[in-house]
Amino acid sequence: MAVAVAHIMNTNVYFASLNDTIDHVRELMATKRIHAVPIIGKNRKLLGIVTTADLARKLDGTEPVRHVMCEMVATIAATASVGQAARRMRERHIHHLVVSDQGKAVGIVSSYDLLRLFELMPPDAKSAQPAAVVDNSVDSAAHKERAQA
């Protein structure tokens, strides 16, 4: 039986708005020890996301976060399986998915959440042979191609 994203997602999510400053979001990430902040509008409508990678370069902290946020947010439904979440993260080379319900952010799931689930699995389930061997060379080639573009 597949585990649903709803069972591992974090519903205690810290959000920011378009006009919050970059420094405000940096401080939020540092004090709450988080690596991604969804940017929302009215009624929790998802508008974007900011990650630590977005804030890694030197930026004017007084500017609005909307200048650095990514508007193409990877989302997933709470009813999706954790396998689907892992696949989506791996294919897109990301570490966070915003859990959405009808365009509204209701939670977040991270690669850390998936690792924690794996850690809690019974030992016999961890050592089971996978259904298919993953060919990482495909992912590596795609990653190199994007890096050269």
CATH number of the domain bearing residue 47: 3.10.580.10
Which residue segment(s) compose the domain that 114 sits in? Answer: 5-126+136-144
Amino acid letter, 27: E
Check residue 81 and give left, alpha or beta (phi > 0: left; psi -120 to 50: alpha): beta
For residue 122, tell me if it sits in a domain: yes
pLDDT (tens digit, 9 = 90+) per residue, 73-87? 999 999 999 999 999
Edge-first strand listing for the sheet containing 75-76: 75-76, 96-101, 104-110
Q: Can you tell me the distance from the alpha carbon of 110 to that of 95, in angstroms, rounded to the nearest whole number?
A: 5
pLDDT (tens digit, 9 = 90+) per residue, 14-33? 999 999 999 999 999 999 99
Q: How confident is the model at residue 135 (pLDDT cuts 50, 70, 90)?
A: low
What are the φ/ψ torsions at residue 35 (nearest 5 degrees)? Answer: -120, 0
For residue 131, tell me if it sits in a domain: no
Count: domains in the chain? 1
pTM value is 0.76
For residue 123 the two structure tokens come to: 């030992």
pLDDT (tens digit, 9 = 90+) per residue, 30-80? 999 999 999 998 888 899 999 999 998 878 899 999 999 999 999 999 999
For residue 149, tell me if it sits in a domain: no
What are the φ/ψ torsions at residue 44 (nearest 5 degrees)? Answer: 60, 25
For residue 4 the two structure tokens come to: 């649903």
**What's the pLDDT at 147?**
46
Quick one: how many helices (H) and strands (E) in the chain?
5, 5
Maximum CA extent, the chain: 52
